[in-house]
Amino acid sequence: ATSHRIGRAMSRVLLIAFTASSAAQNLPLPPLPYAYDALEPHIDATTMEEHHSKHHRAYTNKLNAALETLRGDPATKALAKLGIDTLLQRLDQITDSKLRAAVRNAGGGFVNHELFFATMSPDGGGDIVEHAGLNAAIVSAFGTMAMLKRALSLSALEVFGSGWAWLALDRRSDKLVVQSTPNQDTPAMDASTVPLLGIDVWEHAYYLKYQNRRPEYIAAFYNVVNWAKVGEYYATAAAGKPIAF
């Protein structure tokens, strides 16, 4: 349906979350690389449209407002010029508690959703990772893809209230790890951790279709994971380079 179609394809690369992109000007709402109804029946079109056009947009708008406040104060102007990832790693330099919370919540929400939407695809799913580097890393850290999914699912199920479960690269050990974060916190707040795949377990991500059946939503999520894209991000992160969306 026309109402479920995304507009023009992304015309330029958006560097976010783990990049050195500048936050010196307003950030646009990143477009989806597929239609709102493309992930049916696993994730319904209404949820996708609400999630992207309202929730992700709200985080984007609130982040831009926070950045504008930072730019307006000579004491914090330099912070507004940092990449969003770096800014999230320097929250302690924002002395105003309300502004610090706004940057943490909106900045995390912005980058988390960018990764979330980018690593899903109507052609996703499967239990075989064709990217050799990612496949070897999964085997090294978890033994099998099934064991990775089990660990990631358990992490998502154990999130109390709202939050995320993550597959990330720990730069200190060069190993894949599974972890969770509350609310809109992101592993990227730690410079040594690079998130590669996230499961959003805020209720707005699944409640319209799955209600309180979070386990069903998590199981369905694996049917749309774009493992090829996750593999690309892993290779980039393992090489010490910023991930570009």
DSSP 189-221: GSTTEEEEEEEE-SGGGTHHHHTT-HHHHHHHH
Report the chain's C-alpha Rg in angstroms: 17
Give whole-number Cα distances, 57 to 166, 201, 220, 234, in Å: 22, 18, 25, 27
The region, left, alpha or beta by phi > 0 then psi within -120 to 50, assigned to residue 99 is alpha
* Close Cβ partners of 78 (under 8 Å, ≥ 6 residues apart): none
Q: Do you find a cis peptide bond into 41, omega within 30 degrees of 0?
A: yes
Provide the whole-model pTM.
Answer: 0.89
What confidence tens digit (pLDDT) does each residue in 159-183 have?
Answer: 999 999 999 999 999 999 999 999 9
Return d(Cα 48, Cα 205) in angstroms, integer: 8
Element (H, E) at 148: helix 145-157
Q: Is the pLDDT of residue 15 over 60?
A: no
Q: Is the pLDDT of residue 104 over 90?
A: yes
Return d(Cα 192, Cα 31) in angstroms, integer: 28
> Closest by alpha carbon to 18, among 170, 165, 193?
193
Cα 102–chain centre separation: 18
Tokens of 213: 């059946």
245 pLDDT band, cuts 50/70/90, is: low
* Close Cβ partners of 95 (under 8 Å, ≥ 6 residues apart): 75
What confidence tens digit (pLDDT) does each residue in 44-102 have?
Answer: 999 999 999 999 999 999 999 999 999 999 999 999 999 899 999 999 999 999 999 99
